[in-house]
Amino acid sequence: MRHALQRCLAPCVGNCTESRYSEVVADLSLLLSGKVTDLVERLRDRMDQAAEGLHFEEAARLRDTIRAVWRYTRQKRNRVLPEDLDKDTWEAFLRLQSLLRLVSAPWRLDCFDISHLSGKETYGVVVVFEQGVPNPSLYRKFSIREVEGVDDFRSIQETLRRRYRRSLQGNDPLPQLIVIDGGAQQLRFAAAALEELGLAEIPAVALAKQEEAVYTLFDEAPLLPGKEDPALQLLQRLRDEAHRFAVSAHKKGRDRKNRRSILEEVPGVGKKRAAALLAKFGDLGRIAAATPEDLACVVPGMGVTVARRIIDHLEEAEK
């Protein structure tokens, strides 16, 4: 019955050849080991062969299997992705695989960037593309705390260490390719961080803004693919998204600090009380609209008198 419902190959009664059974076992092994792009490439080859042989039902079944594999392997999605890769994206993946000598096409890419303002409030960020599409639910930002002054090289190291420690703890999946916004020196520091974490097997490259040169660990001279190269265009989209997110993260951090400093101007309100008020109410407007009793309830030990000062101060600042 399970065989009739297409839920079993029924090898025990001779309804499946040894080669077919081995093929399915190999497919499952790739899926369970996380080698999704290798599996999809195998399935695509078989789908193309079936279509060429006019076996359209088999080709359709393999197409549906590819779609199911993509659905199965997507994690923490906050947007709908296409059921299958379009031709241009697939060509960009294959070109990237060839250009960077990758074992498989990189269906997941992580890109790192550093942002700072006048040597202060440095942030490291990572953005994630899956199937050539941004997945903002997997973006992360890190306030750099181990590095003094302006040091993009060591900031990259700290960001990679903190990001992939989470992955090693099972909190985030690992990529097939890591891209660094920068040049050869940034790439060397990134590689050192990966080596320290035991993740040196993950390929890493750097994309420099000038000349759009791609630096690798297998060649001292940078690769210059040319602006029409689909692999470079994919890396550029990834790098530009990382830069946008880094600037955005920095701006939000600066705005949060400015809001907190206004509250700290009130006698009796320090950093902890200002942070607690913003965490509860969200912004200065909601704090100003609250009653003194509401504010006093939020922060233990802060009386109504200090709460009234806060409201008066915010109303005066608004004027």
DSSP secondary structure string, 128-190? EEETTEE-GGG-EEEE--S--SS-HHHHHHHHHHHHHHHHHTTSSPPPSEEEEES-HHHHHHH
Check pLDDT > 80 for residue 186: yes
Structural domain contains residue 166: yes
Give the number of domains in the chain. 3
Predicted local confidence at residue 157, as pLDDT: 95
Q: Do 97 and 235 belong to one domain?
A: yes
Structural domain contains residue 97: yes
Structural domain contains residue 48: yes
**Better pLDDT: 14 or 236:** 236
Lowest mean pLDDT among 1-5, 98-102, 132-136: 1-5
Structural domain contains residue 260: no
Last residue of some domain: 73, 100, 121? 73
Average pLDDT over residues 257-268: 66
Q: Do 208 and 313 belong to one domain?
A: no
Locus of tokens 């994206």: 89
Last residue of some domain: 189, 215, 247? 247
Q: Do 241 and 282 belong to one domain?
A: no
Residue 6 dihedral angles phi and psi, to the nearest 5°: 65, 35
Predicted local confidence at residue 77, as pLDDT: 44
Please tell me the pTM assigned to this model: 0.61
Predicted local confidence at residue 76, as pLDDT: 41
Q: Do 199 and 276 belong to one domain?
A: no
Q: Do 20 and 129 belong to one domain?
A: no
Predicted local confidence at residue 74, as pLDDT: 53
Q: Do 169 and 307 belong to one domain?
A: no
Structural domain contains residue 256: no
Which among 24, 136, 32 is positioned nearest to 78, based on CA atoms?
136
Q: Do 173 and 110 belong to one domain?
A: yes
Highest mean pLDDT: which of 14-23, 65-74, 144-153, 276-285?
A: 144-153
SS3 116: strand
Range of the structural domain that residue 49 is part of: 11-73
The CATH number of residue 297's host domain is 1.10.150.20
* Model confidence band, residue 257 (pLDDT cutoffs 50, 70, 90): low
* Model confidence band, residue 154 (pLDDT cutoffs 50, 70, 90): very high
Average pLDDT, the chain: 81
282/252 Cα distance (integer angstroms): 13
Highest mean pLDDT: which of 48-52, 64-68, 112-116, 181-185?
A: 181-185
How confident is the model over 87-103, as pLDDT tens digits? 888 889 999 999 999 98
Last residue of some domain: 247, 281, 310? 247
Q: Do 236 and 136 belong to one domain?
A: yes
56/54 Cα distance (integer angstroms): 5
How confident is the model over 189-212, as pLDDT tens digits? 999 999 999 999 999 999 998 889
Alpha-carbon torsion 190, 174, 111, 146, what sign?
negative
> Which two three-digit tokens encode residue 281?
């109410």
How confident is the model over 217-233, as pLDDT tens digits? 999 999 999 999 999 99
User: Cα torsion for 110, 236, 207, 244, to the nearest 10°?
Assistant: -70
Structural domain contains residue 2: no
Structural domain contains residue 114: yes
Q: Do 29 and 170 belong to one domain?
A: no
Structural domain contains residue 117: yes
Predicted local confidence at residue 2, as pLDDT: 53
Q: Do 32 and 100 belong to one domain?
A: no
* Model confidence band, residue 5 (pLDDT cutoffs 50, 70, 90): very low
The CATH number of residue 157's host domain is 3.30.420.340
Question: Is 130:173 a contact under the CB 8 Å cutoff?
Answer: no
Q: Do 101 and 202 belong to one domain?
A: yes
Q: Do 184 and 305 belong to one domain?
A: no
